[in-house]
Amino acid sequence: MEKVVPFIPSPLKVVKAALELAKVGPGDVVYDLGSGDGRVVVLAAKLYGARAVGVEVDDALVLLSQMKVREEGLEDKVKILKKDFKEVSLEDATVVYLYIYYDVIRDLMLEKLEGLRPGARVVTLEIPVPGWMPVAKRGVQDEAGVVRTLYLYVKGVSDPSSWKNEEADPKWVEEFRENLWGHLRRGSSSSFSLSP
Ligand SMILES: C[S@@+](CC[C@H](N)C(=O)[O-])C[C@H]1O[C@@H](n2cnc3c(N)ncnc32)[C@H](O)[C@@H]1O
């Protein structure tokens, strides 16, 4: 297992903003790939009622995050896997959080993201997903007053494989995006297509 990104924690204010941007709720299964001290998965479960899976390769961080999960009494909702994120299955993921390098997403993770179920959301901090189109981009001030950038993507809307209908009326596409959260609320597993 190779550690391809160092541990740099996402500021807590930014984690909350990311989970809110992705509209995380009790029906979700949130994955943090490279979960560090477990802050994303713990907050997803504690504040938003989601189930969550942290994937981390560093022994000390795995232990620390497992301790946090126990302290918060979230063992039923949160799992920490000691695993390389390249090896993990995202079959049941409805939300994926990423704070890793651009070239790691491009070279190691893009194929995995392409395999997500339609309607799954991907939220990234600072780093856009190569070749995908965000449905939202938001600046959030962290605790130190620095503005951090969050990107939100939806599988089946943001990924190039969904851009089949190049003649789609841009106004219609815009309307579709505006209605996107209505679709998501009806179930994260519902599929999206840009074809009218
Ligand atoms: C920038 S930190 C982000 C931590 C956490 N997601 C957060 O936002 O606070 C990246 C994390 O990825 C972990 N990591 C690096 N390479 C990894 C790999 N191949 N598999 C799993 N985790 C890895 C690091 O140990 C580190 O904790």
Pocket of ligand 1 (CB under 6 A): 2-5, 7-10, 32, 34-36, 39-40, 55-58, 61, 84-85, 99-100
Q: 131 CA to middle of ligand 1, Å?
A: 22
**Owner of token pair 């190779």:** 2
Instruction: For residues 43 and 53, give the distance between their C-alpha atoms in angstroms, rounded to a whole number.
Output: 12
The 3 state secondary structure assigned to 131-183 is: CCCCCEEEEEECCCCCEEEEEEEECCCCCHHHCCCCCCCHHHHHHHHHCHHHH
Domain assignment of residue 128, yes or no = yes
Supply the residue whose CA is at minimum distance from atom 23 of ligand 1: 34
What is the rounded distance in angstroms from the CA atom of residue 153 to the CA atom of residue 134? Answer: 5
- Confidence band of 193 (pLDDT split at 50, 70, 90): very low
Question: Is 177 domain-assigned?
Answer: no
Ligand 1 center from residue 139 Cα (angstroms): 22
Q: What is the pTM of this model?
A: 0.86
- From 16, 33, 56, 66, give the residue whose CB has the most ligand 1 atoms within 8 Å, as the site to mutate: 56
Average pLDDT over residues 97-102: 96
Q: Which two tokens mark 115?
A: 């395999």
Task: Give the model's pLDDT for residue 189.
Answer: 37
Summarised one tens digit per residue, pLDDT across range 75-86 is: 999 999 999 999
Percent of the chain whose pLDDT exceeds 90: 77
Long-range contacts of 112-116 (CB under 8 A, 24+ apart): 112/86, 112/88, 113/155, 113/159, 114/159, 114/161, 115/90, 116/90, 116/155
139 located within any domain: yes
Q: How far apart are CA 30 and CA 40, in angstroms?
A: 9
**% of the chain with per-residue pLDDT over 70:** 83
Does residue 185 lie in a domain region? no
Query: Which 3 state secondary structure label does DSSP give 52?
Result: strand
Residue to substitute in 1, 2, 7, 82 for testing ligand 1 pocket (most ligand atoms within 8 angstroms of CB): 7
Burial grade of 69 (CB within 10 A; 0-12, 13-18, 19 or more) = buried
Q: Which residue range(s) make up the domain with 74?
A: 12-155
| Domain CATH number, residue 64 | 3.40.50.150
Residue 141 within any structural domain of the chain: yes
36: CA distance to ligand 1 center in Å?
A: 5
- Residue at 149 is within a domain: yes
* Residue 102 CB coordination number (10 Å): 13
**Count of Cβ atoms closer than 10 Å to residue 138 Cβ:** 17
Q: How confident is the model at residue 21 (pLDDT cuts 50, 70, 90)?
A: very high
In a domain, 170, yes or no: no
Averaged pLDDT for residues 186-191 = 40
Judge whether 77 lies within some domain: yes
Number of domains in the chain: 1
